[in-house]
Amino acid sequence: MLNPPVVILMATFNGAPHLREQLDSLIRQTYRAWRLIVHDDGSTDDTLAILDEYRQVDSRITVMDDGIVGLGAAGNFLHLMRHVKGAYYMFCDQDDIWLEEKIARLVAVISNYEGPTVVYANSYLYLNGDVIPQKSTLLHPNSLRDTLFFNSGIQGCAMIFNHSLMDRLTPFPERVAMHDHLVTMGAVAFGQMIYLDQPLVLYRQHSQNATGNQPLGVFRRSVSFLFGGKPVINRSHYNANLAFFQRYQSKLDLSSQKLFKAYFRYVNSRSVFERLFILLRNRFTLGNKRGLLLYKTLVRRPIN
């Protein structure tokens, strides 16, 4: 297919302050074969009026008006995922800015792959109208053994994934931490994760972010990692990984099942030495960084 259709999913909630900039950046995309499906979660500001304004001037924009609200960010995106179909899918936050070549470059890469696939780029942080030349994503997991301890998914606004992966994930687990975590886990469990080393999004930082605010500068990010006081495993992501395993266990190969079970044993172990042994025996890493995961195991509690 020359220009395969890309379905962009946008979950909105009181996004009026920055929504126009995001929509304008979509309209400026050099890749034209896209359609935007929006579902609002009960906004009380001008979000719906802005969406209606843009919908009237660009027929590629559709607002799903079904009266369902109160889903939360993850639930809103999952709701969209259940009601769309296309060749490729992209998540779109309501407050970022996409660089003009974003869709074109991601489609050019993912079109070379078959089977369940995610391709993701990077982002520059965007604060008070200024671009911070600091990449948002620093760790790059590409297999199950270096993703289970990740406590997040690859940044949703930076990824594209194909229908093969969407089909493999449907129906979804009963519990999900975030939509992008689910898609990330699906890619490393059933297919492949490909990194395109280019920043293609301006990732806005502000107090109303649903997720993702990051310390600015390498020093602050290092201090946050070393002394942030967080556990090795976040409870919400542990629960999501458990639900993922329960939902898809019959579809996982034996080696993947073994890794999940070792991960669960790690959480339930009361001995730091046993936890270190589990990591080493199963060659677990944190985004391909084994030392980081070993360090966290030594100085942090296993789960909150």
- Which residue shows structure tokens 């890794």? 259
DSSP H or E run through 110 = helix 102-110
Query: CA 150, 152, 156, 161 torsion: positive or negative?
Result: positive
Nearest-CA neighbor of 163 among 85, 105, 102, 46? 85
Which pTM does this prediction carry?
A: 0.92
Cα 20 to Cα 15: distance, rounded to the nearest angstrom = 9
- Average pLDDT, whole number, for the chain? 93
Looking at the predicted structure, is the pLDDT value of residue 186 above 70? yes
* pLDDT range class, residue 227, cuts 50, 70, 90: low
pLDDT for residue 218: 58
Q: What is the dihedral of CA 295, 296, 298, 300, to 10 degrees?
A: 150
Taking a C-beta distance cutoff of 8 angstroms, is the pair 123, 51 a contact? no
Structure tokens at 175: 């519990």
Looking at the predicted structure, is the pLDDT value of residue 102 above 80? yes
The tens digit of pLDDT for each residue in 110-149 reads: 999 999 999 999 999 999 888 888 899 999 999 999 999 9
**Average pLDDT for 159-175:** 97
The tens digit of pLDDT for each residue in 247-283 reads: 999 999 999 999 999 999 999 999 999 999 999 999 9
pLDDT for residue 206: 65
